[in-house]
Amino acid sequence: MTTLLKKAFSLPQPEQERLGAKWIAEIKAGQIRHQLFRASEEHLETRHKNERLLEALNAAYDDMPDAEEQTLLRNMRRHHRQFIKENEQW
């Protein structure tokens, strides 16, 4: 059989107020730390998303036509214009 022993003690009013203020400050500090942690987490998440987007855009623009492809495109446009003139239709 387990016996429970309870004790109670009293603190002077100034000590109670000091400890109460200390505990409230610790609770608030914990909440503030949590808010700061969450805000930094969201910032990093946004930054990572923006970096991925920038990488995707850079990859898309890295695939621009080189000099040989540009020459080919110019020739294709010229031949297409000539074809349209000769056939007078689209």
CA distance 63 to 60: 6
Contact (Cβ atoms closer than 8 angstroms) between residue 90 and residue 84: yes
pLDDT of residue 71: 94
The residue extents of the domains of the chain are 16-87
SS3 sequence of 49-75: HHHHHHHHHHHHHHCCCCHHHHHHHHH
Query: 70: Cβ–Cβ under 8 A, 6 or more apart, which residues?
Result: none
- pTM equals 0.44
The pLDDT of 2-8, averaged and rounded, is: 64
pLDDT of residue 8: 63
pLDDT of residue 5: 62
CA distance 3 to 44: 53
pLDDT tens per residue, range 20-66: 888 788 877 787 778 878 888 998 999 999 999 999 998 888 877 88
